[in-house]
Amino acid sequence: MSDRERLIERMKSIMGPKGVVSDHEQLRTYECDGLMNFRVRPTLVVLPETAEHVQRAVQVCHDEGIPFVARGSGTGLSGGALPHEQGVLIVLARMREILEVDIPNQRVVVEPGVINLKVTQEVAPEGYYFAPDPSSQLVCSIGGNVAENSGGAHCLKYGFTTNHVTALEVVLPNGEMVNLGSKSPDPPGYDLVGAFVGSEGTLGIATKITLRIVRQPETVQTLLAAFPSPDDAGGAVSDIIAAGTVPAAAEIMDSLAIEAAEAAVHPGYPDADAILIVELDGPAAEVEHQFDEVVRICEENNSTEIRIAEDDAQRALFWKGRKAAFAAVGRISPDYFVQDGVIPRTALPEVLRKIKQMSDQHGLRVANVFHAGDGNLHPLVLYNGNVEGEAERAEELAGEILVLCVELGGSITGEHGVGEEKKHYMPKMFSEDDLNTMQLLRCAFDPHALSNPEKVFPTPRLCGEVRPGPRRIHPVEKAGLAQVF
C-alpha cells in the first residue's frame, strides 16, 4: 500500500468514505479558488462534518508531516485556498450549523461553513443583522471571512470582520483544540482572536466562531449620484466625511464598471463617467439632517443627477449593479483580474489619473470600483487570455497598480488577502524585520509550517516553509533558534 493509499484509509476511518475525495478527476473541482490563474490539484480532499473530524484530520497531517489547507466556499480572490500538491485540502462546507443565537447578548455562534448571509437571515426577524457584507455574501463562508478579515460596502461605518468576531474555537496545526477570546468583549491576555482573524489559514482552522450582531437601524436612506468624473465623485466622498458624516456605505463605479453592470444586471444607472452610492443609517432625525447635507455636497462637487431611493425595491436596484460589478465585467471582456489595493482617500484623483496612464501604456482597459470611504480600490484589469502576451501584460499592470498604492502610503490589499497572489509584494510594504516579526507569530502557532504553507510570506523564514518533497529544515531551525518559541 502506498503512503497516499494509507492516508486515504486513515481519513476514511475518521469521516467515512463520503467524507474523502481521492479520485483524480474529482479533485480537479478543488484545484483553484476564485482566482483561477493559479491551479494545483491536492493529494486528497476531506469533507469533515464536525470539529472532531477536523481535529483528527489535522492530527494525522501533523503526525505524517503533511501540509493542509482549509477551504470554505472557495470564493477567495488571492489564491488563499489554493491547495498544496502534496497536501490535504480540508473543506469546511459541510459544517453549516448555526449553533446558538443569543439575542440578549447580541451573539451568534456558528460553524465555519455557514454562509455569511444566513447569519443575517437567521436574526433579521429579531431586528438584528451581521454587518460585514462582502459582495460574495450569498456564497462565501464565515470561516473564509474570518481568515481573510473580509470587508464589504457597509464596513466603512461598522468595521471589518475583525470587529465582529469575539471568540474562536481553533484546531491548531498540531491537532490541539483551543478556545480564543470569549463571548464578552475585551478578555484579558493577548488578543489572539485579533491575530487569528486575517491570518489566511496559516495559524490553524477555525471550527466554531462567535459573532457579534448589531441592531437594524431605525432608518436607511440611499442615494445614487451621477458625476462627470470619478475625481468629482471622490471629492464628494472626502467632503462628506470631512463634514463629520460617516455614511454606512460610499461606493464609486467608473464608466466602464457602469457599462458592465448595465450589460449584466440592468440596474438602469444614469449615463455618467462615475456614479456614487451613498447610504446613511441611524435614527430618523439624524439621518434626515445628514442626508440633506450629503445632497448639497454632491451638488457642490458637480453632480449631474441625484436619485433618492423611494423604497426598498429601488434601494436594492441601486445596489444590484454594484454588488454584481466583478462578475459583470465578464460581459465586456473575456478575462479580467480583480485587483484590491488601498490608498489614502484624498489620493483618489492622482491614483485614477495614474491608473489611466498605465492602462494606456499597456493597451489594456481598467474598470474601477471603489469602497470609496475606506480608500479601497478594486481596479478590474480587462484582457483576452487568447491573445498572446495579454495575460502577462495584465498581471504586470495589476502589479504596478499595487506598487502605486504602496508608494502613496496605502496597502497591497484592502480585503481580499495576500494568499498566493500577493506574497511577493509583501516586501514592498514591510521591512525584513516587520516580516520576521510576523513570522515569529506564525512559528508560535505552526512551527512546522503545515497550515497553508507558502502563502502570505514571500520567502521561508525562521522555522521554514514546507516544500514539495521531504520537509526541508531551515538552517535557523536547525541551529535551534526555533526552540525560543
* Contacting residues toward ligand FAD, per CB under 6 A: 33-34, 69-77, 80-81, 92, 112, 134-136, 140-141, 143-145, 147-148, 150-152, 200-201, 205-206, 326-327, 415-416, 452
* Closest CB 147 distance from ligand FAD, rounded Å: 3
Spell out the residues 6+ positions from residue 330 whose beta carbon is closer than 8 angstroms to its own.
Answer: 260, 264, 336
Which residue number is nearest to ligand FAD in terms of Cβ? Answer: 144
CB of 81 to ligand FAD, least distance (A): 4
**Between 74 and 379, whose beta carbon lies closer to ligand FAD?**
74
Contact (Cβ atoms closer than 8 angstroms) between residue 206 and residue 147: yes
Nearer to ligand FAD, 134 or 410 (CB): 134
Smallest gap from Cβ 357 to ligand FAD, in A, equals 27
Q: Which of 231/415 has CB closer to ligand FAD?
A: 415
Reference 117, options 166, 73, 171; nearest CA is: 73
Nearer to ligand FAD, 135 or 238 (CB): 135
Q: How far is the CB of 188 from ligand FAD (least distance, A)?
A: 25
> To the nearest whole angstrom, how small is the minimum distance from the Cβ of residue 58 to ligand FAD?
11
Shortest Å, Cβ 249 to ligand FAD: 11
CB nearer to ligand FAD: give 380 or 404. 380
CB of 419 to ligand FAD, least distance (A): 6
Q: Which of 479, 447, 468 is nearest to 173 (CA)?
A: 447
The C-alpha atoms of residue 415 and residue 77 are separated, in whole angstroms, by 10
**Alpha carbons within 13 A on the beta-carbon side of 345:** 19
Closer Cβ to ligand FAD, 135 or 339, answer by number: 135
At its nearest, how many Å lie between ligand FAD and the CB of residue 416? 5
Sheet strands (E) in 240-318: 249-254, 274-282, 305-308
Torsion angles phi and psi, residue 376, rounded to 5: -95, 110
How many Cα atoms sit within 13 Å of 227 on the Cβ side? Answer: 27
Give the span between the Cα atoms of 44 and 27, in whole angstroms: 7
Residue 156 or residue 298: which is nearer to ligand FAD going by CB?
156
Q: What is d(CA 167, CA 86) in angstroms, rounded to the nearest whole number?
A: 32
Residue 111 C-alpha from the chain's centroid? 18
Q: Alpha carbon of 34 to those of 10, 31, 73, 421: distances in Å?
A: 30, 10, 9, 12
**Could you tell me which residues come within 8 angstroms of residue 20 by beta carbon, excluding any fewer than 6 positions away?**
8, 11, 12, 44, 45, 46, 47
Closer to ligand FAD by CB, 147 or 280: give it: 147
Sheet harboring 20-21: ordered strands across? 20-21, 44-46, 88-91, 68-71
If the CB atoms of residues 26 and 357 are measured against ligand FAD, the closer one turns out to be 26
CB of 366 to ligand FAD, least distance (A): 18
